[in-house]
Structure 1
Amino acid sequence: MDRVSRLASQKAVAIFSKSSCCMCHAIKRLFYELGVSPAIYELDEDSRGREMEWALLRLGCNPSVPAVFIGGKLVGSANEVMTLHLNGSLTRMLKDAGAIWL
């Protein structure tokens, strides 16, 4: 849990992902298209990935990936991120976190 929190707070946006997950790919693509350069942590490529996946589940991420943190705070998975994007809140959150300057 500590490792997830530490990694999530190192950049304005952190995404915990799996390289084979199509929803993870879509969320990463969304952030890149918004001009964000997120920290990406591929759990299936990390020796402690399974441990981090359990920590994400304990934090309330279900499914565990993609798990998006903005400003060190858990936003949620694809559904939450897309809802925020569609209602215009995501851009505001990204500006407040210093991830974009539009």
Structure 2
Amino acid sequence: MDRIANLASQKAMVMSSKSTCCMCHSIKKLFYEQGVSPTIYKLNEDSRGKEIEWALMRLGCSYAIPAVFINGQLLGSADTLVTLHLDGSLKKLPKDAGDIWL
């Protein structure tokens, strides 16, 4: 859990991912299209990736990847992100966090 808190607090927007995950790719593309550049941690390239996945699920993520943190706080996984995108509130969150790079 400490490792997650440390990773999540390093940048305004942090996302756990796997290079083979289609939902991770879709969520990254969604952010990039909005001019947002989250810091991406590929769990399949981390020696403690499985441990981080389990910890994310204990934090409340229905799926460990993709999981997004804004300013160190867990926003949620793909189902939460898609819901926020559909109701229009996702667009405001990265801007408030200071992670728009356009």
TM-score range, shorter chain: over 0.9
TM-score normalised by the chain length of structure 2:
0.92
Q: Which residue of 1 aligns with 2:25?
A: 25
Q: Which residue of 2 aligns with 1:45?
A: 45
> Closer, same or farther in 2 for the Cα pair 1:101/1:32, shift >3 Å?
closer
TM-score normalised by the chain length of structure 1:
0.92
1:16-57 CA-partner distances (Å, limit 9, x unpaired): 011111001100111111111111011111111111111101
- How many residues end up aligned between the 2 structures? 102
Which consecutive unaligned segments of at least 5 residues does structure 1 have? none
Which consecutive unaligned segments of at least 5 residues does structure 2 have? none
Q: Which moved more, 1:18-27 or 1:90-99?
A: 90-99
Q: Which residue of 1 aligns with 2:34?
A: 34
Cα separation, 2, equivalents of 1:71 and 1:100? 13
Local SS of the residue matching 1:90 = coil
* CA RMSD between the two structures: 1.4
* Residue identity matched to 1:60: G
